[in-house]
Every structure is written in structure tokens, then in C-alpha cells.
Amino acid sequence: MCTRLIVLLGDQLSPSLLRFADQKTDQVMMAEVLGEATYVAHHKKKIAFHFAAMRHFAKELRADGWTVSYTTIDAADNRGNLREEIQSQAERCQPDLVVGIEPGEWRIEQLYAELSKTLAVPFEVRRDERFFCSRSEFAEWAQGRRQLRMENFYRIMRRKTGFLMDGEEPVGGQWNFDHDNRKKAPKGLTFPGPLTFVPDAETKSVLAYVDAHFSDHFGDLEPFEFAVTRGQARQALEYFIRYSLADFGTYQDAMLRDENYLYHSLISLYLNTGLLEPDEVCRHIVQAYYDGTAPLNSVEGYLRQVLGWREYMRGIYWLRMPEFKSENFLEAHHHLPSFFWTGETKMECVRQAVTQTKKTAYAHHIQRLMVTGNFALIAGIDPFQVHEWYLAVYADAIEWVELPNTMGMSQFADGGVVASKPYASSGNYINKMSDYCASCHYNVKEKTGPGSCPFNTFYWDFLDRNSDKLRGNPRLGNIYRTWDKFDPEKQASYRAYADVLRKELL
Ligand code: FAD
Ligand code: DLZ
Ligand code: SF4
């Protein structure tokens, strides 16, 4: 028996969410369920990470004095889905009230709406206060605006939180130091990499279960080196600040063969499950600037990702769901090619991104946006299939943040709500920011025809195919003028070779 039964999901592993509750009278429930592990075929590491982090979190809550009812995936009475787990725990506990916290996915919000009608006791959904901007605050900001732009939203968040502010002005006199952040990584740099952790007995038992029961899912389970507790995630953050933050900004967009992380932090999965909270991350990052251990371009660049992009994406997700998920502005209908799962392609950039993703359940932003995302966009892959791929393969993928990044920013499926123009590029951009092309089967300098970089042909074909939808975009005016200046034969050769490539690659 309890007064309130509080449901915590696998991305709600933050003690702060229980601030409103009372240890003496309330109970917490958590459940590992097959439904959550299989609604897309998540990477093995992603499943193991969630189960291990959930178990450790429950243990810490108990040690803190909470009563936690925890259903493990192998429990004989495991009901396999959140609906029935919540129903059965509510019957067992007989609370006056069941409390859920705003979930991170629309489908779970629907489930909560249904439960509030069908449960025998009242069901209340509380705000998730870990975010800087509430859903209603974002909706209010967005209402009536002709165009939503992250940069405007970010400035409001800077003013609201006071991070890197000097009164009403941004520290350093600029809001954005992006122009300092576009360097290719020269030879000879060393990368400290993220802090890694050795699995304890609890995590090992999760790994054994995942190995035995999810062997058909994508990705390598081992080595498993993620943090699975809040304490470890904090160490990972401190390590990043100490060894990588200073160079984060400068090489933020760089890519190198066989280098998975460069100066990136690998903390999105900890933020998204709640092991770290955005406020503590931003405070620590900004402190590094005041302590003189990291320059402003890096600190501001990092702050913009967490305080700006992350919050912005959440706002857009809730503003535009459920329609968002079925948008396909560019009417792209090709199936996702099998090399997204196998990595078996002669395109070195894609091979690197996919094989790395298989091994680590991670790729950094530019790999996601300008390699795999860019390829899918310019080749004309169905954006929903692209979305399902990203949701499955990355350990940090929860729909509220994955979907706007994929369908909005990367695939332009929303017609320009998230991004003011499509993130489409030829091989030239990849060559500029990486060392991939030097060891590729294809020649990035060849514009089209046999042996040429497929990104080059697909890029122009993409613009041509979507001319009626994109030509009016003021940010694409110059590029269409260039296309228009190509003689008709040259244009025809791009179109014809794009047909060849589609047969070969898709
Ligand atoms: P860093 O490069 O070290 O950045 C710091 C932090 O900033 C990240 O941990 C993250 O919390 C935040 N951040 C940076 N960029 C973004 C962004 N565009 N949107 C939201 N937060 C951001 N991020 C996810 O957390 N989950 C996803 O499922 C996800 N899917 C993506 C899909 C596509 C197609 C693209 C283009 C981007 C996606 N991102 C996603 C955003 C970004 O790529 C990841 O947040 C980042 O790569 C995580 O690695 P990191 O922690 O090393 O980040
Ligand atoms: C990602 C994930 C996985 C693999 N398993 C579980 C689970 O067994 N139980 C759970 O509560 N949450 C899990 N999660 C995270 C959820 O999918 C996540 O909480 C929702 O998708 C977002 O609201
Ligand atoms: Fe990728 Fe083209 Fe460079 Fe090959 S040549 S790595 S396909 S951009």
C-alpha cells in the first residue's frame, strides 16, 4: 500500500524528479520491458545501457531510503509492456494516485492519456523540470512567429539562465563563435577520448542477458564502456571538461578515419537518460571558461548545443507531433540501403560512420548530419526509414531529440521548420572536413561518371529533382544560379549518372 505510485521510465533516472515525493508514503516503480527494447530494433549497447543504468539507479534510490518496485526483464511475472506493468503495480500498491512524469516520446504520452482514463485510480502527469524551457513556454514563444530559428530561441535561453551573460550582453560581445569552429583536424593531434568504465557484476549480468536475447539486433555489445551511474557520468563530464573541452569548438566539425570521438563529449546518452542534468552540465562547462581552462569559442559552442539546440529540438518535437513523424516534404521514397546496417559500401565516409556506429552506438554530429544524413537526403531515401534507423542505432536516441534532428534538420522532411535550408552537400564538404576521401574507392574531384564521388552526382541531382520545392529558398539562390549556368549536356549527364548510381547503390 502507498499514497502515490510514481512511474519512472528508462530516461527518467534523475533523483530531482522525486523532489515532490515523500519517501515515507510514496513508492517508485520501474520496469524493464520487451516492448521498450523492441519497438525499434535498438542497438545492443543501447538496450544494455538502459537496463544497466536503470538497475543502478533503482539500487541508489533504495540506498537513499526509497521503496522501489523494480521488474527485471527476466522476471517470471514481467508483463512485457509499460501499460500492463503500470496496471499491475497500481493493483498491487493500491495508491490514491499514480504519478507519471512527462515522457520523452509521443507514443508514451498517448499511453499515459489512455491510462488516466482506464486505471482504477487517478493518474497524474507532472512536468519534467529537468529542461530549461517547458513545453508550454516553447509553444508560447513559437506562436505567431512566421519562422522559428534556433539562434533567436538560444538568446532567450541565455538571458533566462544568465549563462555567459554580462548583464544584458553576451560575454565576449558575441552570441555565437561558430566562425572559429570550422577547422579540419591536422595530423598529429591527440585525442583523450571519453572516459571509459569497466562493467561491474550488475552490468555484466545485463550484458549476458542482452547477448542471449537480443543477438539479432544491430551492433556490437562489447566492449561495453559506458557510465551506468550518475557518479560515473559526472566523472565522464569532468574528464571531458579537463581534457577535451578546450579544443571542442575548434574541431567540432572535423572527421578522421578510425577516430570515433575527437574532442566530442559523449554525454548525450547520460543527459538523455537523466544521469546528468542539463543545468549541472551547463554550469560546469561555463565554469571552465571563468576558471580559464577553456576558451570562449569552445565553451560558448558547447553551451549552444545543450542550452540551444537540445532545448529547441524538444520544443519543436512537442509542437509538431504527431504529424511530424509522417512528413515527407521532398517526397523521397527510396528504401534505406542495406549498407546502413552492414557498413559494406565503397564510400569510405559512409563505411566509417556505419562501422563506427555498429561498434560504439555513437557517431558525432557531423557524421550523422553530413555523412549518413546527407547521403540519405540527396539520394532520396524515405525520411521515416531514416528516422527509424537513427532511433535504433544510437545509444542517445530518444524520439524527442532524435526525430527533429533526423526528419527536420537532416532530411528536410518538415519543409524547413528546423533548418532554413537542406543540409545537402557534395563530396567537397566531406573532403574539406575529413581525411576520408584520400582512402576512398571513389574520386572526390570527379564530378560525375564512373569512379566519381556519388555525393557529387547526387548533390546536383537532388537540387534538380527538387527544383520546384527548393528553388524559391533564398539561401539556395546562388546554387540554383550555378546549376542554371551548366550547359544542358552537363545537366543531362548528372541526371543520367544519378540513375546509374540509384541502380548501383539503392
Ligand atoms: P557533443 O558534440 O559533445 O555535444 C554536446 C551536447 O550537446 C550533446 O551531448 C547533446 O546533448 C547536445 N547537442 C549537440 N547537438 C545537438 C542537437 N543537434 N540536438 C540536440 N542536442 C544536441 N542527439 C541526441 O542526443 N539524440 C539523438 O538521437 C540524436 N539524433 C541525431 C540524429 C541526426 C540525424 C543528427 C544530425 C543529430 C542527432 N543528434 C542527436 C544530435 C547530435 O548529433 C548528438 O547530440 C551528439 O552527436 C551527441 O554526441 P556528444 O554527446 O559527443 O555531443
Ligand atoms: C530505451 C529503453 C529501453 C531499451 N528499455 C526501457 C525499459 O525497459 N523500460 C523503460 O522504462 N524504458 C526503457 N527505455 C527508455 C524508454 O524507451 C523511454 O523512456 C521512452 O521511450 C521515452 O519516454
Ligand atoms: Fe565519401 Fe565521396 Fe569522399 Fe568517398 S570520395 S569518402 S564517397 S565524400
If pLDDT is split at 50, 70 and 90, which confidence band does 36 have?
very high
* Owner of C-alpha cell 503495480: 89
C-beta of 281 in contact with ligand 1 (< 6 A): no
The pLDDT assigned to 506 comes to: 94
Ligand 1 site, residue 265, Cβ cutoff 6 A: yes
Nearest to 419 by CA among 409, 429, 427, 411: 409
Does ligand 3 come within 6 angstroms of the Cβ of 255?
Answer: no
- Rounded to the nearest angstrom, the distance between the alpha carbon of 499 and the centre of ligand 3 is 18
Q: How far apart are CA 257 and CA 237, in angstroms?
A: 25
User: Which of 80, 97, 126 is the last residue before a domain boundary?
Assistant: 126
In a domain, 152, yes or no: yes
**CATH assignment of the domain containing 179:** 1.25.40.80
Q: Within 10 A of 181 (CB to CB), how many other CB atoms are there?
A: 19
- Burial zone of 137 (CB within 10 Å; 0-12 exposed, 13-18 middle, 19+ buried): middle
Same domain (yes/no): 116, 139 = no
**Best probe residue, ligand 2, of 9, 57, 71, 210 (max atoms within 8 Å of C-beta):** 9
Cell of 397: 536516441
Nearest ligand by distance to the CA of 42: 2
CA distances 110 to 37, 136, 461, Å, are: 18, 18, 40
Query: Cα(404)–Cα(319) distance, rounded to whole angstroms?
Result: 11
Q: Looking at the domain assignment, is residue 228 inside a domain?
A: no
With residue 496 as reference, give the H or E element that holds it.
Answer: helix 488-505
Separation in Å, CA 186 to CA 180, 242, 367, 434: 15, 21, 18, 10
Pair 119, 143 in one domain? no
Domain-embedded: residue 220: no
Query: Side by side, which strands form the sheet with 4-7?
Result: 67-71, 27-31, 4-7, 97-101, 123-126
Q: How far is the CA of 149 from the centre of ligand 2 (A)?
A: 30
Residues forming a β-bridge with 31:
71
Ligand 2 atom closest to residue 11's alpha carbon, by position in its atom list: 19
Domain boundary among the residues 320, 348, 380 is at 320
Residue 502 C-alpha to ligand 3 middle, in angstroms? 16
Query: In the listed set 92, 126, 160, which residue is the last one of a domain according to the structure?
Result: 126
d(CA 275, CA 269): 8
Q: Is 313 in the pocket of ligand 1 (CB under 6 A)?
A: yes
Cα separation, 222 vs 360, whole angstroms: 9
pLDDT of residue 154: 97
Q: How far is CA 101 from CA 5, 12, 228, 240, in A?
A: 12, 8, 21, 30
Q: How confident is the model at residue 312 (pLDDT cuts 50, 70, 90)?
A: very high
Q: Is the dihedral of CA 73, 78, 80, 84 positive or negative?
A: negative
The pLDDT tens digits of the residues spanning 195-231 come to: 999 999 999 999 999 999 999 999 999 999 999 999 9
- Mutate which of 133, 405, 414 for ligand 1? The one with the most ligand atoms within 8 Å of its CB, which is 405
Nearest atom, ligand 3, residue 440 CA: 4
Mean pLDDT over 458-466 rounds to 98
- Look at residue 92 and tell me if it is in a domain: yes
- Residues 263 and 346 grouped into a single domain: no
Q: Is residue 214 part of a domain?
A: no
Closest ligand 1 atom to residue 271 Cα is 11
| pLDDT, mean of residues 488-503 | 97
For 400-452, the pLDDT digits (tens) are 999 999 999 999 999 999 999 999 999 999 999 999 999 999 999 999 999 99
Handedness of CA 40, 42, 46, 50 (dihedral sign): positive
Return d(Cα 35, Cα 58) in angstroms, integer.
20
Which bound ligand lies closest to the C-alpha atom of 361? 1
Distance 314 CA to ligand 1 centre (A): 12
Please tell me the residue having the least CA distance from ligand 1 atom 11.
268
Q: Which residues pair with 27 in a beta bridge?
A: 5, 67
Q: Does residue 48 contact residue 207 with C-beta atoms inside 8 Å? A: yes
**If we measure between CA atoms, which residue out of 161, 492, 487, 413 comes closest to residue 311?**
161
pLDDT of residue 178: 80
Strands in 150-225 per DSSP E: 165-166, 169-170
C-alpha of residue 405 to centroid of ligand 1, in Å: 8
- Which of residues 1 and 396 earns the better pLDDT score? 396
Based on the fold, state whether residues 315 and 417 are members of the same structural domain. no
- SS3 of 90, please? helix
Range of the domain at 104: 4-126
What proportion of the chain, given as a percentage, has pLDDT over 70? 100
* 152 and 122 part of one domain: no
Distance from residue 268's CA to the centre of ligand 1 (Å):
6
CATH number at residue 359: 1.10.579.10
The set of protein residues with a Cβ atom below 6 angstroms from ligand 2 is 9-11, 31-33, 36-37, 42, 47, 50, 103-105, 108, 398
Asked if residue 211 belongs to a domain, the reply is: no
Closest ligand 2 atom to 103 CA:
23
Give the model's confidence band at 146: pLDDT under 50 very low, under 70 low, under 90 confident, else very high. confident
Inform me whether the pLDDT recorded for 385 exceeds 80. Answer: yes
Residues 392, 469, single domain; the answer is yes
- The closest-lying atom of ligand 1 relative to the alpha carbon of residue 240 is 3
Say if residue 315 is in the same domain as residue 444. no
How confident is residue 85, by pLDDT bands cut at 50, 70 and 90? very high
Ligand nearest the Cα atom of residue 438:
3
Q: Distance between CA atoms of 372 and 377, rounded to whole angstroms? A: 9
Say if residue 14 is in the same domain as residue 96: yes
Q: Please say whether the beta carbons of 489 and 497 come within 8 A.
A: no
- Domains: count for the chain: 3
Considering the domain architecture, whether residues 60 and 142 belong to the same structural domain is answered as: no
For the stretch 254-307, pLDDT in tens is 999 999 999 999 999 999 999 999 999 999 999 999 999 999 999 999 999 999
> Is 418 part of a structural domain of the chain?
yes
Do 184 and 280 sit in the same domain of this protein? yes
- Give per-residue pLDDT as tens, 466-485: 999 999 999 999 999 999 99
**Ligand nearest to the CA of residue 82, numbered in listed order:** 2
- Tell whether 13 and 160 lie within a shared domain: no
Contacts of 126 (CB under 8 A, 6+ apart): 20, 99, 100, 101, 102
Confidence band, pLDDT 50/70/90 cuts, at residue 180:
confident
384 Cα–ligand 2 center, Å? 20
Same domain flag for 460 and 315:
no
- The predicted structure's pLDDT at residue 186: 87
* Opening angle at CA 186, ends 183 and 187, nearest 5: 165
Residue nearest to atom 40 of ligand 1 (CA): 402
Mutation to probe ligand 2, out of 36, 275, 388 (largest number of atoms < 8 A from CB): 36
The DSSP bridge pattern shows strands 97-101 and 169-170 to be: unpaired
> What is the rounded distance in angstroms from the CA atom of residue 503 to the CA atom of residue 206?
42
Grid cell for residue 363: 557517431
232, part of any domain: no
| Dist. CA 309–CA 319, nearest whole Å | 15
**Is the CB of 436 within 6 Å of ligand 3?**
yes
Concatenating the DSSP letter of every residue in 323-367 gives GGGG--TT---BPPPTHHHH---S-HHHHHHHHHHHHHS---HHI
User: How far is Cα 506 from Cα 502, in angstroms, rounded to an integer?
Assistant: 5
Q: What percent of the residues of the chain are helix, what percent strand, and what percent coil, each to the nearest 5?
A: 55, 5, 40
The alpha carbon of 59 and the centre of ligand 1 are apart by a number of angstroms equal to 29
